[in-house]
Structure 1
Amino acid sequence: MEATDEQIRRELRASARREGLLASQAAVELLIRCEFARPGYPWIIRNEDPDAGPLGYTADFERILDETVPVSGSQRRLLAIVASLAGRAEVNLADGVAGLDRTNIALVLAAIAHANGTHEDRGDGLTTGFPPGLFPWPAEQAGEGPDSHRM
């Protein structure tokens, strides 16, 4: 049975929480919000071997920049920022944010604030709730899920 997008998002977030690093949580959330957390992307891995770690979906951030997935230049830059937050790549921010639209800049700013520990609690299981958010994750539109921020 195929996993739903919601199940994959839930498992990716749980995997990031288990890792315990805010930067990894921010990387996963940015990956989800930019709609790159779906089956078929080579960095979305399903572990079905209990000897290899927790079962479920995880993100293999090293594969983000190694794969030749057809994406636009701005999408490639967002993926590089995701990999950088996860500690798998170095990104020149001047190049990384060039050409991103307001929606995606807001997502990157929220991810950086989250990685720094200055995020707010939105009940998503990723946040601490204290102190108040410096730059919160953008609100989702009514009827939209976390993947609603298209590039």
Structure 2
Amino acid sequence: MMAEELAASVAGLRAWARGSYAEEAAVELLARAFGGRFASSSWPWVRPCDRSGWFWLDPGGIWAGAGMLSGGERRLLNVVGALVGGQPLSDLGGTLAGLDRRNLELILAAFAHPGGSHKEVLLIITDGEPSFQRVGPVVDWPPAVDRMAS
């Protein structure tokens, strides 16, 4: 897989997901986990859109095509599928318990994103004067550890 192809897939997925917090979270999870390799258009769940250069995530492709992967990879992809497809995770405790720290951090950030906490602002009134302060996400995306995560 060429780095340029992967970067194009991630950019196309991000363009497709923009504006839907759950889909944004799913795409970021794919782009940041496992070096971003599961965001490549070579996987059956990354499908081309009618719009040139865009891709979309097919949750059915995730559930059908992830069987040959490791347990941790399948757990993470099940979360991606749940975020995009709206299907509940059947064993959330088992999913989270079977992850390494890095992927657990990514999933926690992905769970926080659809709630919109990254856009939350507080109204603060000091001496009768209102002001606003961004508070940031409940759980922020961890720092990038590779090129695809940025």
Match of 1:114 in 2: 113
Q: Tell me if structure 2 keeps the 8 A contact 1:80–1:89.
A: no
Question: Where does residue 6 of structure 1 map in the other structure?
Answer: 7
Cα contact 2:45–2:58 (8 A) shared by 1: yes
Q: Is the 8 A contact 2:117 2:138 kept in 1?
A: yes
Structure 1 spans left out of the alignment, 5+ residues: 48-52, 121-129
User: Which structure's CA Rg is the greater one?
Assistant: 2
**Root-mean-square deviation over aligned CA pairs:** 2.3
Greater fraction of residues in strand: 2
| Partner residue, 1:27 | 26
Q: How does 1:97-112 map to 2 (within 5 A)?
A: 97-112=96-111
Does the 8 Å CA contact 1:43/1:61 hold for their aligned counterparts? yes
Give the counterpart of 1:54 among 51, 62, 73.
51
SS in 2 for 1:45: strand
TM-score (norm 1): 0.76
CA deviation digits over 1:51-83, x for unaligned, max 9? Answer: xx4232222122100225521011111111111
Alignment of 1:120-135 (within 5 A): 130-135=134-139
Runs of 4+ in 1 over 4 A off after TM superposition: none
Of Structure 1 and Structure 2, which has the larger fraction of its residues in helix? 2
1:41 counterpart residue number = 43
Partner of 1:127: none
Deviation at 1:39, TM superposition (A): 2.6
Displacement, 1:11?
A: 0.8
* Distance across 2 between alignment mates of 1:66 and 1:76: 11
Q: Distance in 2 between matches of 1:109 and 1:65?
A: 21
% identity of equivalent residues: 36
The farther-off stretch of 84-93 and 27-36 is: 84-93
The alpha-carbon deviation at position 146 of structure 1 amounts to: 2.9
Distance 2:20 2:104 in 1: 22
